[in-house]
Amino acid sequence: MKIRFYIGPQIGSGTVLNPYRSLLNDFIHIENGEWFTEIDNPARRISICCVVAEQTTHTAIATDSRVIICSPLADDKADMKTKLENTFNSIAGAAALKVKLEAIGIDTSWIGGSDTLRLGLRYLLRVFTVGQFADGESVGEVREFLKANLTTQVSAVPAVIRDRVKTWMQNKGLAVGWITGTTTVRQVIHYIVTNLNIGKLNMSDEEF
């Protein structure tokens, strides 16, 4: 079984009969021993999944234009562990991947030449986890903020949203005095992701 990380949209309507679920469910053959772990981003209705499956399944997933490939294809867990320590910028298609991640609200501007793929995925997972916190706490304004374009200035965000986001941040012990009208959504989300005490995250026995 080969392993790869993907981001895909969630399908379904969120009802009991048609719950939200990753698009990748349509590709996995459980009867063949294939499986995946998932962390979803409720703000954007997308999920990152670590898929363990046969080559043919990975090939089928990769041909779907709705799916973002987030890592090289690994032969097994040991190979994936090695690949995660390679620099993000050295992986095939790194530049195109950054463009796709930026389009779904993931800041990649911080990634330097020595930053690993593991660090990139850790950041991504934390962005998704912030979305889960907001969803679990029913703070719709934070969810809306996480959906905004990264280049949007705070002054352009509706007052009810930006004020609620600041209150939410303060309740989490985060400073907000540095935020001005010209601060971007990118800067605020980056500050939250890097300063909120999220801790380690685990996917398919890999710690991020």
pLDDT in tens, 103-136: 999 999 999 999 999 999 999 999 999 999 998 8
Residue 203: which of 47, 95, 93 has the closest Cα?
47
pTM of the predicted protein model: 0.90
Q: Exposed/middle/buried for 43, CB within 10 Å: 0-12, 13-18, 19+?
A: buried
Distances (CA, A) of 82 to 10, 95, 164: 29, 21, 42
200 pLDDT exceeds 90? Answer: no
* Count of domains for the chain: 1
Domain of 158, in residue numbers: 2-207
- 2 strand-pairing partners: 53
Give SS3 for 185. Answer: helix
